[in-house]
């Protein structure tokens, strides 16, 4: 036991001696959560659009006014010819062009029908679709005003209630994700080179000839980083509560316990990478190249998992971040207790045990 404590002490010295890394470890997550919390959103605001008005009459003017009055759109320019639409898109200046047909008012009065084309730059399908829907909604509202003295028979009206996030703030969606991604990547990165570093610097030999057992080395390596990561987690949670006004509907204590569990699983994953790679460079490339994109894309942080193809949904199960995001959203936004998230908790626990056991097994007690 004394030996083990000595080993942990050595690890602490290693970490605290390198002030620069320490500064980076604490400074980076704060900078990132502040930046991303504000900047990552898929709400559509102030989209630049262009207008091609072939009729230039009272009705089209009124519609154009309505569109420019909405907070979603800024009318950047007027196009005069159909042929110009392509060049406007190619320069990337606007995302959509509204094309009003000739004699818009006249057709509306005569035939009770007039057409407008919503031409969107669908290289970004999501934005294109949303723009199209918003313009449609504005036009429908206008149409309703025009039709206000006609009553429709049989109306079933959906009364929609948006629960857990009534104002549809995208912060609620993205802050738990940002918290998870940062915690996961920082934690896994910290431990991923701890053992390879000793291998590369030649100090591994000394560790191997000492009477410390493999699992003691593994635990001892993880232990100090748990403290660092907990401090990080506390800072991140505080920032999300006080800066981004995230609610904590459930128990803060439970959130703390779950965070510690998640941190340990990420650290254990880092250790696993460390034991299987020969050089620091390899370990870093695995933890950077191998983890970053899969964690960002398959955790449900930005893209909904339920929309992915079946095989990817299955792959997403092995991403610890996915489960933690479900847990964080559950506790912070839905206010659930352990009885609703025990399954996710158990999965994280299982992963942690698996990572540690595999690291101990893969830990080579002989030099190559």
Partner 1 sequence: MKTILYIIQKEFKQIFRNKGMLPIIFVLPLLQLVILSNAATFEVKNIKFGYIDNDHSSTSRALVEKFNASTYFDVLTDFPSEKMASSAMLKGEIDVVLEIPRYFARDLQKEKHIDLGVTINAIDGAAAGVENVYITRIVQNFNQQLKVDLLQVSDQQIQPINIETIPLFWYNETLNYKTFMVPGILVLLVSMITLFLSGMNIVREKEIGTLEQINVTPIKKSQFIIGKLFPFWVIGMGLLTVGLLLARLIFNVPMLGSLTLMYLYTSIYILVILGIGLFISNFTDTQQQAKFIAWFFVVIFILMSGLFTPIESMPKWAQIVTEFNPIKYYVEVMRMVMLKGSGFIDILPLLIKTSLYAIVMNGFAVWSYKKTN
Sites for partner 1 among residues 85-144 (CB under 8 A): 89-92, 95, 108, 112-130, 132-133, 135-136, 139, 142-143
Nearer to partner 1, 47 or 358 (CB): 47
Does residue number 216 form part of the binding site for partner 1 (CB under 8 A)?
A: no
Strands 96-100 and 73-79, by their bridges, are unpaired
Q: Is 198 a binder of partner 1 (CB under 8 A)? A: no
**Which DSSP helix (H) or strand (E) runs through 214?**
helix 214-242
Using the rule CB under 8 A, is 238 a contact of partner 1? no
Do 291 and 191 meet the contact criterion of CB atoms below 8 Å apart? no
By CB under 8 A, tell whether 163 contacts partner 1.
yes
CB of 3 to partner 1, least distance (A): 26
Asked whether position 253 contacts partner 1 by CB under 8 A, the answer is no
For partner 1, the binding residues in 306-335 under the rule CB under 8 A are: 306-309, 312, 315-316, 326, 329-330, 333-334
Phi and psi at residue 83, in whole multiples of 5°?
Answer: -65, -20
Among 3, 16, 24, 364, binds partner 1 (CB under 8 A): 24
Residue with smaller CB distance to partner 1, 80 or 313: 313
Q: Which helix (H) or strand (E) holds 83?
A: none
Q: Which of 102, 118, 115 is nearest to 57 (CA)?
A: 102
What are the φ and ψ backbone dihedral angles of 291, each rounded to 5 degrees? Answer: -95, -40
16 binds partner 1 (CB under 8 A): no
Residue among 2, 17, 83, 160 that touches partner 1 (CB under 8 A): 160
State the Cα–Cα distance between residues 29 and 19, nearest whole angstrom.
Answer: 16
Q: Is 246 in the site for partner 1 (CB under 8 A)?
A: no
Structure token digits, residue 309: 């193809």
Binding segment for partner 1 (CB under 8 A), chosen from 208-216, 240-248, 293-301, 346-354, is 293-301
Instruction: To the nearest 10°, report the CA torsion of 331, 335, 339, 345.
Output: -10
289 near partner 1 (CB under 8 A): yes
Tell me if 50 sits within 8 A of 79, measured CB to CB: yes
Interaction with partner 1 in 48-77: which residues (CB under 8 A)? 48
299 contacts 321 by C-beta, under 8 angstroms: yes
The reply on whether position 146 binds partner 1 by CB under 8 A is: yes
Judged by CB, which is closer to partner 1: 99, or 259? 99
| Shortest Å distance, C-beta 360 to partner 1 | 21
> Alpha helix locations (H) across 18-71?
19-39, 58-69
Residue 267 binds to partner 1 (criterion: CB under 8 A): no
C-beta closer to partner 1: residue 233 or 283: 283
CA dihedral 79→81→87→92, nearest 10 degrees, is 20
215 makes contact with partner 1 (CB under 8 A): no
Residue 244 CB, shortest distance to partner 1, in Å, is: 13
Q: What residues contact residue 349 under an 8 Å CB cut-off, 6+ apart?
A: 261
Contacts of 253 (CB under 8 A, 6+ apart): none
269 makes contact with partner 1 (CB under 8 A):
no
Least Å from the CB of residue 211 to partner 1? 28
């Amino acid at each position: 036991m004394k030996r083990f404590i000595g080993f942990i002490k050595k690890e602490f010295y290693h970490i605290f001696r390198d002030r620069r890394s320490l500064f980076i470890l604490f400074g980076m997550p704060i900078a990132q959560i502040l930046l991303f919390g504000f900047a990552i959103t898929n709400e559509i605001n102030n989209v630049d659009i262009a207008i091609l008005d072939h009729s230039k009459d009272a009705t089209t003017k009124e519609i154009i006014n309505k569109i420019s009055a909405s907070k979603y759109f800024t009318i950047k320019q007027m196009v005069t010819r159909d042929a110009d639409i392509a060049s406007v898109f190619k320069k990337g200046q606007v995302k959509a062009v509204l094309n009003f047909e000739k004699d818009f008012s006249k057709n509306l009065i005569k035939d009770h029908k007039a057409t407008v084309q919503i031409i969107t730059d669908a290289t970004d399908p999501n934005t294109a679709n949303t723009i199209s829907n918003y313009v449609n909604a504005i036009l429908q509202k206008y149409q309703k005003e025009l039709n206000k003295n006609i009553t429709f028979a049989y109306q079933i009206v959906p009364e929609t209630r948006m629960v857990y996030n009534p104002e549809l703030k995208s912060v609620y969606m993205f802050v738990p994700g940002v918290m998870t991604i940062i915690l996961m990547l920082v934690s896994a990165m910290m431990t991923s080179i701890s053992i390879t570093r000793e291998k590369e610097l030649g100090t591994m030999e000394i560790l191997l000839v000492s009477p410390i057992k493999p699992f003691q080395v593994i635990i001892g390596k993880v232990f100090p980083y748990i403290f660092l990561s907990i401090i990080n987690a506390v800072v991140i949670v505080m920032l999300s509560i006080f800066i981004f006004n995230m609610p904590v509907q459930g128990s803060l204590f439970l959130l703390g316990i779950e965070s510690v569990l998640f941190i340990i699983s990420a650290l254990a994953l880092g250790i696993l990478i460390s034991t299987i790679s020969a050089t620091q460079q390899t370990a870093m490339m695995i933890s950077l190249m191998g983890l970053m994109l899969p964690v960002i894309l398959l955790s449900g942080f930005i893209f909904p998992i339920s929309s992915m193809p079946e095989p990817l949904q299955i792959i997403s199960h092995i991403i610890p971040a996915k489960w933690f995001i479900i847990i964080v959203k559950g506790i912070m936004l839905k206010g659930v207790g352990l009885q609703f998230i025990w399954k996710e908790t158990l999965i994280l626990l299982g992963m942690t045990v698996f990572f540690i056991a595999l690291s101990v097994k893969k830990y080579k007690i002989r030099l190559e």
